[in-house]
Amino acid sequence: MNKVTRKFASFVVAGAALGLGYFGYNHLLDSRFAYAEEQREQTRQSVAKLEDLSSIFKAVGKIVEPSVVSINVHKKVASPHPREFWKKMIPDRNGDGKPDIMPPLLPNLPETPDIPDELPFDDGGNFDTIGTGSGVIIEAADGKGYILTNNHVAGGASEIAITFSDGREVHKSKVKLLGADPRTDLAVLEITADRLSPAKWGNSDEAQKGDWILAFGSPFGYVGSMTHGIISALNRQAGILGMNGYENFIQVDAPINPGNSGGPLVNLRGEIIGINTAIASQSGGFQGIGFAIPSNQARYVYQSLKEKGKVTRGWIGVGITDVSRNQQLAESFGYTKPTGVLVNQIIANTPANGKLQKGDIVTGINGKLIDTVQQFRSVVAGMAPGTEIKLSVFRGGKDTETTIKLGELPDDLASARPARDTARDVAAPDNIGLRVKTLTPELARQYGVDVKEGVVITSVERNSPAAKEMLGVGNVITQVGDTEVKNAEDFDAAMKKQDLKKGVRLYVETREGGRFALISPEK
């Protein structure tokens, strides 16, 4: 090959390389473009799915809104001051002997210059307030309807007015409060009206953290409002219903504000899974946490209030505490899990007699795991008296089951049992800071304890392990470890067998009831 030929060949090779490079680069660009277009289409489809979710929200709104009502109530509130006090507090700027403005100390009362000759307080200083809330129609038939709402909305109301989603109103003689239950903060109203659209119940036991939910009601009086969010927690206790309340709330992040109370919380099928009842707030407005009463609990209360005007609840008759509050005590029974409830006390003549024992740890009811006292109470109270339930129990180092027929929770627990269903922590001997004496009938009367045998604590050293466990003079120790104690000799003998470094489990009786306590010198 001559020189010219070689040079030409080189150009050909170089040109081919450039051509291949050009077309290869374009192919790369085409591939990138195609991939980008594919990603864009996938994003477009994702947006379409979001629009589909929006369509679901709209559909649920159309399903539920006709069942939601706005409630306006008048309530008579007791004033701590007599009528003469308010005469002095209300200014008389016109000089005509009439008050010309309502006292600024009273919330929810409108300011008005047109007040009649008589003050709006009775002789006791009581006055009327106006409140708003929400409710949901549960049933309708034969010109009657039944609405579920909160006790704090309708309970104790002297006058109630209902506004439906279509603008109709019923009030006075056409609205009747059938019953209210402060322990769950629920109330049921009966109304006389036609063309009502009841909502459908859902199963709150199927609710899970992360589920989409929608809340309906009349926040700040804005009728027909709907918000959405997710379930952020389950089985919450907010401490708003007091010691005798049943709190097992669904926690949500859907905006719930004053006026939403009593409205329904629904799933994406438009089924009621809760009744909006409270918010966690420092300002009085929504701050990201709302609470709803689970529908399965609300459903039972609704039926009871509608049919009987009151709630009859199941009852076992035990004093219990959370295992999680004293894991070391639970471990002294050989139980190592962090959940369940420890039986401290068996109340005489109750369904628990002969079925449960002091020191049992209840871990489940009818196959459903039980984590806390509040959950235990809510499940039992949510069933009718006479219902048979199966309890999963840890006893003597083994898991077992027992069946109990529920009794009826007394209206007055204090009179239904010799001691309250509560207890206190207790203590032990010399190096743990207490002294004991054989219990006698005279000492039992002196300290007001309903116990026949045991040892009574006569003194507790300050800052001792016994004192730190809140043991007190007059407490009666009836058991050390697994050994029953009838007198001081039994107590001394039982204590000598204990390893104080590991802690000593005692059973102590007080005026308020009995309880286990784990005492250790290291505390």
CA distance 453 to 479: 10
Q: What CA–CA distances, in Å, run from 390 to 236, 316, 317?
A: 24, 12, 15
Sign of the CA dihedral 235, 241, 243, 245? negative
CA distance 509 to 455: 10
Beta strands in 68-143 (DSSP E): 68-77, 127-141
Q: Tell me which of 79, 134, 152, 204 is the catalytic residue.
A: 152
Contact 76, 125 (CB under 8 A): no
Q: Tell me which of 185, 322, 371, 421 is the catalytic residue.
A: 185
> Count of alpha carbons within 13 Å of 364, Cβ hemisphere only?
11
> 3-state SS string over 200-242?
EECCHHHCCCCCEEEEEECHHHCCCEEEEEEEEEEEECCCCCC
CA distance 253 to 230: 6
CA angle 298–301–303, rounded 5-degree value: 110
Q: Provide the token pair at 70.
A: 């706005």
Amino acid at the residue 432: I
- Specify whether 166 is catalytic: no
- Specify whether 152 is catalytic: yes
Query: Strand 398-405 to strand 388-395: parallel, antiparallel, or no bridges (unpaired)?
Result: antiparallel
CA torsion 503-509-510-511 (nearest 10°) is 160
- Specify whether 74 is catalytic: no
Q: Tell me which of 204, 225, 261, 378 is the catalytic residue.
A: 261
Catalogue the active-site residues.
152, 185, 261
